Structure 1
């Protein structure tokens, strides 16, 4: 059997700007790619929503890779065993992959790399997921950044490598039959809201830059509007790279200087993702450990019924319920509402942020190993660059500000669709006549609030201050 090159795909399900794949295709030897649904100890298993996305994305990628002459393999189990086995069955002399940055993944990959090299296999890893490696950006003291704004200022001055241009193409093959053992289960229905794959991601970026970016600084906070790129799941699975987005925006700003403010704001959000990976790399497992250790002393409440009400969008707080139902049905939630739902759970209900992070990990199609825990710690106040503990979002005033006509709430909480705008974010305050006219019976057709916002805010402040 002729020797080959094996590319191990993880969060990089694309052809373009894929350093590991590009390096493999430069060789004359046949190229095989593999995706392993990993079950190794120490690695975080994908949530249900992510599996649903992955199932569809791999089917698209299989066809795309075949057009480049690359055969895609799929397997489930322990990659520490499966990768060496596949090296043998494909007669691979080289194994390439793009790096991951969580502590467990890094340790796992390092051990596998050592073992393969000991067997005489060439192994090389690349940066296929970030604008800049976490070890290539540091404070003036040479320490990792812990505050976003200085990190963002430094990142803007760093040279970012341009996306890989032309990728070599081998003789096309017929797409192999891909037997996906992935069982999305409950999350399968949410994929009706999405189209997946590299080409879809590129089209979404183009449409966003052409039509939505100009109003992005204003519209990004309005849940009822399609004002954000909604590209986070494509980024999470690497159907598009952050470098491709970065340079597309930079080129637009160069061509249209009037777009500098809007483009800069969007790039700063891309930089937040980058900052989250910086934290993921330089700190202990941030999905389990508070970045500010003093918050480990919090006496979190154990309230299973409240947690379940929050998960199912039955808290009686309309904009929170709207967000949680949007999440359950689509696998995505507007970012402003993510902050409000997280604040209610961690501050008003005083439930451990890790329980919220794990729920989002299972139900978000864009559940990212860095963004998800870093953002939860930001809301909870225990992150490296967190909202101060005394910042507690009021979901009523936030709803009135960012969803003033209640359109977002009415879409996802139809029980409240006939309430006047004045009461749609605080139905418990409407008088009996208003509720009767709207066909609303609190405690029957829609829940009473599970928590008093004012009293729970005081309780949170007292607890967190201690």
Structure 2
């Protein structure tokens, strides 16, 4: 039998440094074969020019090149169903242990459970590590062990717990000599995976001291574009949450820090309540009689509702794969409250379009605007899409960029009257909830 190896399975942690699972694999007694699987269970549901697939592929090529140039090694890249790939790997290699980092989404938990059983049948260990968050699962809970359902007490407990830990950065780079010496491991082009290069690009993140210091004062104004753009990089692990948190602490900015905690709040909610991916957290909200009007939904998707700030957000999303967070709340509320359409429709559209799509945050925030989630906005809170312009885009800079036609005769009439839509929403919610 060939020499034993350990495998490290890259997933949502596409970086060579400060990667706990990767470091633990490299510290073992056997050389490490790094792998990545383009999972067809996920790929088959994506558009063929998906910017996220391009980003993952490009990131992996840079990582491969680094390992080839400096360590005579590489990353083996596969496409298929993970169990089929592992069955082949078991035939091709004498595997001692498979290492990977935790993934908290329902599909990932099921997938990892199946892989664990498969490996156990061949006397191979599966070891997994916490790398994607600072605190996970039940590490920040109430005294009775129940999960927090409201953000503010969770955030306080999170910070309290954080004082008791030493935030360690893992210098994984210093262990890379324990990779297998093979720079010709299997590789795939985007075409091999069945995709084309996206014209949209995931932009670099911006966490300069200036951005963090000014974050509180500028983050609500979409024209300023002063958000960090960290979302996709945290989603795919091209940056370490530990390093980002250290930056927030160094600049002593509570608001920026708390945005990182919001992310962990939603991740632990999804872990405790996996049914919330497609069911309201508050069961009585399942009684709401949502409308479905295909024409109106299409106009919402295309940014042709006749409400300029809503349309600006949707056009920005469609063109760039990004939408400012303040505007996300507005367009979400507009779909659920003004058009009285099911939050799941909006969640699915965002899942397809957003570069920073993370299931936990997307589901959490859509349920928040619909009023049916944990710590949600009350159902009678209905944003006025016109007065929001005065609050957040007074000089119309954002509107002029994304809806240059908003003052033209060709600009669409509002598809719904604000006052009538508000009354319809309130009466529909009331009759369902009372």
Q: Tell me the TM-score normalized by structure 2.
A: 0.91
| 3-state SS of paired residue (1:8) | strand
Query: Is the aligned partner of 1:194 residue 2:203?
Result: yes
Q: Determine the structure 2 residue equivalent to 1:334.
A: 324
The CA distance in 2 between the partners of 1:273 and 1:330, in whole Å, is 22
Q: Determine the structure 1 residue equivalent to 2:256.
A: 266
Alignment partner for residue 162 of structure 1, among 160, 164, 168? Answer: 168
| 3-state SS of paired residue (1:93) | strand
Alignment partner for residue 142 of structure 1, among 141, 145, 148? Answer: 145
| 3-state SS of paired residue (1:240) | coil
Verify the 8 A CA contact 1:317 1:449 in the aligned structure 2.
Answer: yes
Task: Give 1:184 deviation, angstroms.
Answer: 4.7
Q: Determine the structure 1 residue equivalent to 2:362.
A: 372
Verify the 8 A CA contact 2:16 2:172 in the aligned structure 1.
Answer: no
Task: Give 1:61 deviation, angstroms.
Answer: 2.6
The CA distance in 2 between the partners of 1:375 and 1:175, in whole Å, is 43
Query: Is the aligned partner of 1:287 residue 2:277?
Result: yes
Q: Determine the structure 2 residue equivalent to 1:223.
A: 222
Verify the 8 A CA contact 1:53 1:365 in the aligned structure 2.
Answer: no
Verify the 8 A CA contact 2:20 2:172 in the aligned structure 1.
Answer: no
Residue deviations 1:240-277, cap 9 Å, x none?
A: 12222112222x14xxxxxx3xx110011000100010
Residue deviations 1:327-359, cap 9 Å, x none?
A: 111111100010011010011001110010000
The CA distance in 2 between the partners of 1:282 and 1:331, in whole Å, is 29
Residue deviations 1:94-150, cap 9 Å, x none?
A: 110101112232122123113212311122000111111212121122101111111
Q: Which runs of 5+ in 1 are unaligned?
A: 196-200, 254-259, 420-439
Verify the 8 A CA contact 1:4 1:30 in the aligned structure 2.
Answer: yes
Q: For 1:164-183, what aligned pairs fall within 5 Å after superposition?
A: 164-167=170-173, 168-170=175-177, 174=183, 178-180=187-189, 181-183=192-194
Query: Is the aligned partner of 1:24 residue 2:33?
Result: no
Q: 1:385 to 1:68 in 2, by over 3 A?
A: farther
Q: Determine the structure 1 residue equivalent to 2:98.
A: 95
Q: Determine the structure 1 residue equivalent to 2:119.
A: 116
Q: How many residues align?
A: 419
| 3-state SS of paired residue (2:319) | helix
Q: Tell me the TM-score normalized by structure 1.
A: 0.85
Q: Determine the structure 2 residue equivalent to 1:344.
A: 334
Q: For 1:182-261, what aligned pairs fall within 5 Å after superposition?
A: 182-184=193-195, 188-191=198-201, 194-195=203-204, 204-205=206-207, 208=208, 210-250=209-249, 252-253=250-251, 260=252
| 3-state SS of paired residue (2:275) | coil
Q: 1:95 to 1:390 in 2, by over 3 A?
A: same
Q: Determine the structure 2 residue equivalent to 1:388.
A: 378
Q: Determine the structure 1 residue equivalent to 2:404.
A: 414
Q: Give the stretch that moved more between structures: 43-52 or 210-219.
A: 43-52
Q: For 1:37-76, what aligned pairs fall within 5 Å after superposition?
A: 37-40=38-41, 48-66=50-68, 67-76=70-79
The CA distance in 1 between the partners of 2:422 and 2:54, in whole Å, is 37
Q: 1:52 to 1:460 in 2, by over 3 A?
A: farther
Q: Determine the structure 1 residue equivalent to 2:35.
A: 34
Q: Which runs of 5+ in 2 are unaligned?
A: none
The CA distance in 2 between the partners of 1:166 and 1:12, in whole Å, is 12
Task: Give 1:175 deviation, angstroms.
Answer: 6.9
Task: Give 1:393 deviation, angstroms.
Answer: 1.0
The CA distance in 2 between the partners of 1:177 and 1:284, in whole Å, is 35
User: RMSD across aligned C-alpha pairs, in angstroms?
Assistant: 2.1
Verify the 8 A CA contact 1:6 1:96 in the aligned structure 2.
Answer: yes
The CA distance in 1 between the partners of 2:46 and 2:129, in whole Å, is 23
Query: Is the aligned partner of 1:463 residue 2:428?
Result: yes
Verify the 8 A CA contact 2:212 2:248 in the aligned structure 1.
Answer: no
Query: Is the aligned partner of 1:453 residue 2:424?
Result: no
| 3-state SS of paired residue (1:36) | strand
